[in-house]
């Protein structure tokens, strides 16, 4: 079956589905001999609407085999397994969908022909539900805590309600994909299905011969004598007339008109259509790429900013975001079911967790803030760690939360992780109060890496930031 035939049947099937003629839509879809991953996904959605779970599972299997990065297909197969009460397989598919998001808050499938946005918080929500069905209530709470980091305002209520349900060890309803929403073929390709006569019929306008029926082209015109002699402009230079863009995501073409690109490629956008597809040139090849896969690149600005490195000169200082004034501190406010935990470390910070959370949920939230593994931190109710004040897996968390007052609690944190020590290669002196001054040969304890150019450290009771190029890490045997 040719691509044109597949495209025509695909469009016809989607039209039938929009008219609520689902049986005819499914019949047309199943008649396509070589369906792509999107068509297989559409078939699975129609089977789900008909409650044919076995056929839906096979269709989503086919979609995933053809495109192993299609997160929405993993999500739908996870829903299918959930309806079949195969919760372990459902959890595995939701985990794969979450990994396919690659840390993004959402994936908008509009550019690929599907009017749907898959949110990371909804995937984590369903992961928590699968864990709850398996009896893993603490893991369910951990997934919901992660979902709070990806939440949007419209999704906050369902996550809060689910958190309350897990604390009472009660199940909740899954977030499901609307199965009547289907992938549609590219409307530009569909528009080209009908043949068009762009030239029309030739017509005689004037002739020296009466009743002349000749139609054709005008004779060749003489060339200009003093025309330009410069050679034709190379293809690569003419490509620079387009706008440079960096590719953010890998795009695998499904037609000959589309262009394969991977993250990091620099393409030149020659034309952007109203349907969010861009006509680009890359390595002298031209084709279509989804425009939301690209990010505009300012080449001239980046070239002007480059200069020779300065010897022993500190790099540009990291930007400091303006915060609240000392007279009006801005603090997180507790809600009805959330508690503000103030953690005293080498610096103080706050995290928000559900009141009555387990030890695993509490340590996961704090360790993520510190960018340390949960096993490397020790929590206590007082500044001095003792048998009575330490909090661990054997601690009765009801006793811990009884110390909360007004939706707030104070905890102290220490780390078991070996501290990295640095030696100064050059002296550093600065008048900025947040900087750490030292002399060549001084030993500094590394607290954090602000960015690739600046570190935060401690020496002789003083804490501050300093250029990373001024120090080097001491060997492990020296530490």
Position 439 in a domain: yes
CATH code at 432? 2.30.30.40
What stretches of 119-216 show up as alpha helix (H) in DSSP? 120-133, 137-149, 156-167, 187-191
Same domain, 408 and 425: no
Same domain, 411 and 426: no
Position 179 in a domain: no
What stretches of 214-352 show up as alpha helix (H) in DSSP? 235-239, 299-305
215: pLDDT strictly greater than 60: no
Average pLDDT over residues 466-479: 79
Position 190 in a domain: no
Q: What is the pLDDT of residue 478?
A: 60
Partners of 340 in beta bridges: 352, 408
d(CA 314, CA 455): 12
Contact 130, 94 (CB under 8 A): yes
DSSP state of 261: B
What token pair was written down for 31? 């008649």
What token pair was written down for 336? 């009805």
| pLDDT bracket for residue 205 (50, 70, 90) | low
Q: Kindly report the backbone phi and psi dihedral angles of residue 231, in degrees, each rounded to the nearest multiple of 5, phi listed first.
A: -70, 165
Q: Kindly report the backbone phi and psi dihedral angles of residue 223, in degrees, each rounded to the nearest multiple of 5, phi listed first.
A: -75, 155
Q: Residue 241: is it exposed, middle or buried by C-beta count within 10 angstroms (0-12/13-18/19+)?
A: exposed
Q: What is the pLDDT of residue 463?
A: 82
Closest CA to 184 of 304, 50, 36, 77: 36
Which residues, at least 6 apart from 363, have a Cβ–Cβ distance to it below 8 Å? 374, 377, 379
Number of domains in the chain: 4
Same domain, 397 and 425: no
DSSP state of 234: P
Q: What is the pLDDT of residue 140?
A: 92
Same domain, 150 and 281: no
**For the segment 243-252, what is each residue's pLDDT rounded down to a tens digit?**
888 888 888 8
Same domain, 162 and 283: no
Domain that holds residue 80: 3-167
Predicted TM-score (pTM) of the model is 0.50
CA distances in angstroms from 297 to 66, 126, 184, 263, 267, listed in the order given? 32, 37, 31, 13, 9
Same domain, 27 and 136: yes
**For the segment 287-322, what is each residue's pLDDT rounded down to a tens digit?**
888 888 888 876 543 334 444 444 455 666 665 544
156: pLDDT strictly greater than 80: no
Average pLDDT over residues 105-118: 88
**pLDDT, greater one: 464 or 89:** 89
Position 309 in a domain: no
125: pLDDT strictly greater than 80: yes
E strands along 117-220, which residues?
A: 117-119
**For the segment 16-61, what is each residue's pLDDT rounded down to a tens digit?**
998 889 999 999 999 998 899 999 999 999 999 999 999 999 999 9
Taking CA 7 as the corner, what is the angle to CA 50 and CA 290, rounded to the nearest 5 degrees? 100
Domain ends where: 141, 167, 193? Answer: 167
Closest CA to 16 of 209, 165, 256, 182: 182
């Amino acid at each position: 079956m040719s691509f044109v035939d597949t495209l025509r049947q695909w469009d016809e099937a989607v039209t039938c589905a929009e008219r609520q003629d689902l049986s005819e839509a499914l019949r047309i879809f199943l008649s396509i001999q070589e369906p792509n991953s999107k068509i297989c996904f559409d078939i699975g959605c129609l089977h789900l609407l008909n409650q044919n779970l076995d056929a839906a599972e096979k269709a989503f299997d086919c979609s995933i085999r053809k495109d192993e990065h299609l997160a929405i297909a993993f999500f739908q197969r996870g829903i299918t397994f959930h309806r079949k009460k195969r919760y372990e397989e459902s959890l595995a598919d939701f985990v794969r969908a979450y990994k396919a998001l690659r840390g993004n808050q959402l994936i908008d499938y509009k550019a690929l022909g599907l009017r749907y946005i898959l949110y990371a918080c909804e995937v984590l929500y369903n992961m928590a539900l699968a864990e709850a069905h398996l009896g893993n209530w603490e893991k369910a709470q951990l997934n919901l805590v992660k979902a709070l980091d990806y939440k949007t305002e419209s999704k906050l209520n369902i996550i809060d309600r689910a958190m309350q349900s897990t604390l009472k060890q009660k199940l909740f309803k899954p977030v499901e994909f609307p199965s009547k929403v289907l992938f549609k073929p590219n409307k530009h390709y569909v528009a080209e299905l009908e043949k068009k006569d762009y030239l029309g019929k030739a017509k005689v306008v004037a002739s020296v011969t009466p009743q002349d029926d000749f139609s054709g082209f005008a004779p060749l015109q003489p060339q200009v004598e003093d025309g330009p002699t410069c050679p034709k402009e190379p293809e690569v230079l003419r490509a620079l007339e387009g706008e440079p863009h960096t590719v953010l995501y890998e795009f695998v073409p499904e037609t000959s008109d589309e262009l394969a690109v991977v993250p990091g490629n620099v393409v030149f956008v020659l034309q952007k259509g109203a349907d969010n597809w861009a006509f680009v040139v890359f390595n002298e090849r031209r084709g279509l790429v989804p425009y939301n896969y690209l990010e505009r690149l300012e080449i001239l600005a980046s070239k002007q900013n480059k200069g020779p490195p300065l010897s022993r000169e500190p790099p540009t200082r990291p930007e400091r975001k303006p915060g609240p004034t000392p007279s009006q501190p801005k603090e997180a406010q507790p809600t009805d079911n959330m508690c503000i935990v103030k953690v005293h470390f080498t610096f103080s910070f706050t995290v928000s967790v559900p009141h009555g959370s387990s030890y695993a949920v509490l340590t996961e939230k704090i360790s993520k803030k510190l960018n340390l593994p949960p096993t490397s931190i020790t929590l206590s109710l007082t500044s001095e760690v003792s048998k009575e004040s330490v909090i661990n897996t054997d601690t009765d968390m009801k006793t811990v939360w009884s110390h909360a007052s007004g939706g707030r609690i104070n905890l102290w944190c220490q780390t078991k992780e070996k501290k990295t020590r640095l030696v100064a290669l050059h002296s550093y002196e600065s008048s900025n109060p947040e900087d750490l001054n030292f002399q060549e040969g001084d030993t500094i304890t590394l607290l954090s890496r602000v960015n690739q150019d600046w570190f935060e450290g401690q020496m002789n009771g003083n804490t501050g930031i300093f250029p990373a190029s001024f120090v080097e890490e001491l060997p492990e045997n020296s530490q």
